[in-house]
Amino acid sequence: MSGTASRLLRHRTAFFLVSTLLGAAGTGIFFSSLNNFLADTYDITASQRGLVETIREIPGMLLFMLMAPLAAFREAWILFSALFTVAAGIAGVAFLSSDVIAVTAWLFVWSVGAHMAMTLRESFCVAFSDPGRRGSLFGIVRSLRSLGAIIGAACIWAGIGRLGLGYGVLYLGAAVLTVLSAIFVLFIQDRGHTGIRRKPFVFKRKYGLFYLLAVLFGVRKQIFLVFGPWVLIRIFHQDAPAMARLFLVSAAVGMMVKPFLGKLIDILGERKVLMGDSLVLLLICGCYGLAESSLPEQIVLPCLFACYIVDDCLFSLRSAHVTYLSSIVDSPDELTASISTSYSVEHVVSVVSPAAAGLVWVTWGYPWVFFICAVVAVMMFGASSRI
């Protein structure tokens, strides 16, 4: 690569990383307080929370259908539009949601933009990195997302806990940050497969293991994304400032650890990293399910906080799925469509699992939600060993 081309790539990557940070800060404000917002504003039950999450995840299931008609457009323009959709969803949740039905509808809008943006950011990570070093860029991006989460959690902690601000003011700030993130996307420019006409849809038997990993991750992700915090809020009575502090600490740890995890993918390879992830997840599931009944009362909460932080860091290892795909993909024009297809496959179970887990919680108690996830961790280990 010539010196001029190398400088241009660095400039494009820098704009991409700034956009990522701003978008992550907006998401940090919104998502770090969403569970408390729903509990405080609408007083919903665990089963209702599961249902809201199911509807919110439907755009992920339909992602390949949302992305397919856009295959002829530059990915930077698609990402720009997706981020504006995210901002509209946040504003709608804050100011246009008089009841649970309305807030669920606006969460659906937010989810459409968020899932498209998530796919496109991973596509740009591949485009802006070289084979054998992709895990490192993914690690940097994950670290910046953690920094954005720190900013967001700090805003919730200070805004609600110290200044007495309402959710509306904070969510307006989140929407503005997301719009700024979209503006920076205009300076990214496309590279490689992101600027060419791509295949609108890809589903190949060759990528079957990639899809299986996505399905198992979808179950694991939704259980911990929804019911990990829900245990702390509903069982252990942690309020919004307390949860924001936890998100803040978790993001700070993630900002330091995730670049290392990204490099670990490059050093050890996807197989070893994902197998290790599965074993750690198994221990975390056991802690969530057994801590209250098996540990002394004074260390239950610290143990659950530690489990939350470790699991949040491990979420970044989903990047290993994409680096694995990039090493086996038949053609660059299949990459983005393959990523969107995997997200759709992942979200088929993501749509079902929150509602099912909510019913399990109500029927048998919250520990069984995590015992089921432990079975998923074993299945993840078996699938990862086949890479």
Q: Within the chain, what is the greatest distance between any pair of CA atoms?
A: 63
CB 267 within 8 A of CB 132: no
Quote the CA–CA distance of 78 and 22 in Å, as a whole number: 17
pLDDT digits (tens, 9 = 90+) for 117-130: 988 888 887 777 76
At 133, is the secondary structure helix, strand, or coil? coil
Quickly state the pLDDT bin for 132 (edges 50, 70, 90): low
> Residue 83's pLDDT is what?
94
Mean pLDDT of the chain: 81
From the list 116, 177, 108, the residue with the least C-alpha distance to 149 is: 177
- C-alpha distances in Å from residue 225, one per residue of 27, 49, 160, 305, 381: 14, 12, 22, 14, 20
Cα atoms in the Cβ-side hemisphere of radius 13 Å centred on 243: 25
Q: Provide the residue count of the chain.
A: 387
Among 43, 30, 40, 139, smallest CA distance to 88 is for: 30
Q: How far apart are CA 266 and CA 270, in angstroms?
A: 8
Environment class of residue 28 by beta-carbon count within 10 Å: exposed (0-12), middle (13-18) or buried (19+)?
A: buried
CA atoms within 13 A on the CB side of 10: 7
> Looking at 159-173, 193-207, 302-316, which range is the least confident one?
193-207
Q: What is the pLDDT of residue 177?
A: 94
Residue 110 scores a pLDDT above 90: yes
Helix axes 240-268, 3-32, angle to 10 degrees: 150
> How far, rounded to the nearest angstrom, does the alpha carbon of residue 38 sit from its chain's CA centroid?
19
Mean pLDDT (whole number) for 210-215: 86
pLDDT digits (tens, 9 = 90+) for 323-351: 888 788 777 667 777 777 777 777 777 66
Q: Does position 96 have pLDDT exceeding 80, yes or no? A: yes
Burial class from Cβ neighbours inside 10 Å (0-12, 13-18, 19+) for residue 224 reads buried
Predicted confidence at residue 108, as pLDDT, reads 93
Give the model's pLDDT for residue 176.
93
What tokens appear for 160 in the block? 């609600």
Whether the per-residue pLDDT at 2 is higher than 60: the answer is no
Q: State the pLDDT at residue 224.
A: 77
Which span out of 81-85, 148-152, 313-317, 372-376 was modeled with the highest average pLDDT?
A: 81-85
What the block records as the tokens of 29 is 């404000």
224 DSSP assignment: I
Any idea which of 209-213, 337-341, 379-383 has the lowest mean pLDDT?
337-341
Residues 65-93 have a mean pLDDT of 85
Q: How far is CA 154 from CA 27, 65, 243, 275, 304, in A?
A: 12, 36, 11, 34, 21
- Tally Cβ neighbours within 10 Å of residue 191: 18
Give the total number of structural domains in the chain.
1
CB 111 within 8 A of CB 57: yes
* pLDDT, tens digit (0-9, with 9 covering 90-100), for 264-281: 888 888 889 999 999 999
Query: In which band, very low, low, confident or very high, does the pLDDT at 92 lie, cut at 50, 70 and 90?
Result: very high
Average pLDDT over residues 239-263: 81
In the chain, alpha helices (H)? 3-32, 34-42, 46-56, 58-61, 63-67, 75-95, 100-127, 134-156, 167-185, 208-222, 228-230, 240-268, 270-294, 297-314, 319-328, 335-364, 367-384
312, 28 contact by CB (below 8 A): no
Whether the model pTM is above 0.75:
no
Cα angle for residues 90, 91, 93 (degrees, 5° grid)? 65
What share of the chain in percent tops pLDDT 90?
A: 12
Q: In Å, how far are 51, 174, 190, 304, 382 from 93, measured between CA atoms?
A: 17, 11, 32, 29, 40
Structure tokens at 322: 């994409």
**Per residue in 242-252, pLDDT tens?**
777 887 788 78
Residue range of the domain that includes 282:
3-384
Residue in the block written with tokens 């969107």: 340
C-alpha 64, offset from chain centre: 17
CATH number for the domain spanning 200: value is 1.20.1250.20
CA distance 169 to 172: 5
Residue bearing the bigger pLDDT, 113 or 333: 113
State whether the Cα torsion 256-262-265-271 is positive or negative: positive
Decide if 25 contacts 247 (C-beta within 8 A): no
